[in-house]
Amino acid sequence: MTRIFSGIKPTGHLTLGNYLGAVRRWAEVDQHRADALFSIVDLHALTVEHDPARVRRLSRQAATLMLAAGLDPARCTVFVQSHVGAHTRLSYLLECTATDGELRRMIQYKEKSVRAKAAGQSVRVSLLTYPALMAADILAYRTDEVPVGDDQTQHVELTRDLAERFNLRYGPTFTVPRATNPPVAARVMDLQDPSSKMGKSHESGAGIIYLLDEMDVVRRKVMRAVTDSGREVEYDPVAKPGVANLLEILSACGGGNPSELAGVYESYGSLKQDTAEAVVELLRPVRARHAELAADPGHVDKVLKEGAERAREMARPVVDAAYEAVGLLPAG
Ligand code: AQP
């Protein structure tokens, strides 16, 4: 059976981008067709300045939202990365496989290190080594597929390179995974700045739809989305990125492809109105289920505990084999 791994960082409240680009597909498709693991990758949230209490709160919230979105612990494994020691154990071996140049070429490292410096902060070593930990997250489970939004494709490509290099040097140990992107909304853009991704850790809340935003707030954010000059509704991501983003969101909510949808609208206003309502309807059941689950944190904790136990069992033999392959004495 195909093995799938994917994760979400507790760096902010989950956004429409996380939902359309990842979580919805995990729930609707991936958990039904594969042996899937979905992780709250909390260690990755420590690569930039963070507030410990907030990370803890966001981790539980992310888990609750993942379940609210339809992940079913009877079908897939939902767990917190830091509960499974195999990830950091394997990460070190992959740091010994990756090169400094490879890690420095990662777009996310470049962008985030520039951002940290601009904010007068120092750049943590873990920001540079982040892709080695992400590779460990994936390779520890002999993962075949990694469903991600296209912002993570470069990291999955590096994971492939590291797996191949390791296998070549030390013998077949890891499955070489591949990234899969959702058919639409692989990259939902910020409504106020359609040149940048709708990212949950980004500052401008006005351009970001959070899954737990009140319905009126969702409507207001969509209605105030930046559109482009001209009046015609066309699907042209280069010339009209704001309108294209709305069309992609609408398409992801209700079907129909963005170019066809463009032909249906005569004004930006009516496009925004329909997009706002489509997003509100999409999120309504998730919010309702979240409210039920949030009232029973013991249930979420139990799911995470059982998920971590399953994940540990799966990862242990793979990581032990990797330790042995590089020449380390078995612990006995
Ligand atoms: N805007 C997006 N459009 C489509 N997919 C997205 N994803 C994230 N944003 C979008 C996908 O959601 C999964 C989990 O994302 P993440 O936690 O790794 O990243 P984030 O939500 O973008 O959080 P940050 O902290 O704001 O990230 P960065 O590091 O970019 O600053 C992934 O599958 C991701 O592709």
Per-residue pLDDT reduced to its tens digit, 151-161: 889 999 999 99
Give pLDDT, residue 33: 95
The contacts found for 216-220 with CB under 8 angstroms, 24 or more apart, are: 218/276, 218/279, 218/280, 218/283, 219/276, 219/277, 219/280
Ligand 1 atom with the shortest distance to the CA of 45: 25
The pLDDT of 168-189, averaged and rounded, is 90
Residue among 77, 55, 69, 58 nearest 16 (CA): 69
The pLDDT of 207-215, averaged and rounded, is 96
Residue-wise pLDDT tens digits, 276-297: 999 999 999 999 999 999 999 8
**Roughly what angle, to the nearest 10 degrees, separates helices 268-294 and 241-254?**
50
Does 18 count as an annotated binding residue?
A: yes
Pocket test for ligand 1, best of 9, 39, 43 (most atoms within 8 A of CB): 9
Asked about 240 being catalytic, the answer comes back as no
Give pLDDT, residue 286: 97
Asked about 305 being catalytic, the answer comes back as no
The pLDDT of 55-71, averaged and rounded, is 98
The pLDDT of 95-99, averaged and rounded, is 98
Give pLDDT, residue 140: 98
Residue among 25, 20, 60 nearest 40 (CA): 60
Residue among 17, 11, 14 nearest 196 (CA): 17
Does 272 count as an annotated binding residue?
A: no
Q: ipTM score of the complex?
A: 0.96
Residue-wise pLDDT tens digits, 226-259: 998 888 999 999 999 999 999 999 999 987 899 9
Q: Which CATH number fits domain 205-292: 2.70.50.60, 1.10.10.10, 1.20.1250.20, 1.10.240.10?
A: 1.10.240.10
Boundaries of every domain in the chain: 3-181+297-325, 205-292
The pLDDT of 25-37, averaged and rounded, is 96
Q: Does domain 3-181+297-325 have CATH number 3.40.50.620?
A: yes
Residue 326 Cα to ligand 1 midpoint, Å, equals 33
The pLDDT of 57-61, averaged and rounded, is 97
Calculate the average pLDDT of the chain: 94
Kindly report the number of other CB atoms within 10 A of residue 285's CB atom.
12
Specify the residue with its C-alpha closest to ligand 1, atom 2: 17
Give pLDDT, residue 182: 75
Give pLDDT, residue 326: 98
Q: Ligand 1 in contact with 44 (CB < 6 A)?
A: no
Say if residue 74's pLDDT is above 90.
yes
Does 198 count as an annotated binding residue?
A: yes
Specify the residue with its C-alpha closest to ligand 1, atom 28: 199
Q: How many helices (H) and strands (E) does the chain have?
A: 14, 5
Q: Ligand 1 in contact with 17 (CB < 6 A)?
A: yes
In single-letter form, the type of residue at position 305 comes to K
Spatial neighbors of 295 by CB under 8 A, at least 6 apart, are none
The two three-digit tokens of residue 55, written as one number = 């990370």
How many Cα atoms within 13 Å fall on the side-chain side of residue 185? Answer: 26
Residue-wise pLDDT tens digits, 99-120: 999 999 999 999 999 988 998 9
Spatial neighbors of 32 by CB under 8 A, at least 6 apart, are 75
The answer to whether the CB of 322 falls within 8 A of the CB of 173 is yes
Does 228 count as an annotated binding residue?
A: no
Split at pLDDT 50, 70, 90, the class of 330 is confident
What percent of the chain clears pLDDT 70, i.e. is strictly above it?
99
Give pLDDT, residue 38: 98
Asked about 272 being catalytic, the answer comes back as no
Say if residue 94's pLDDT is above 90.
yes
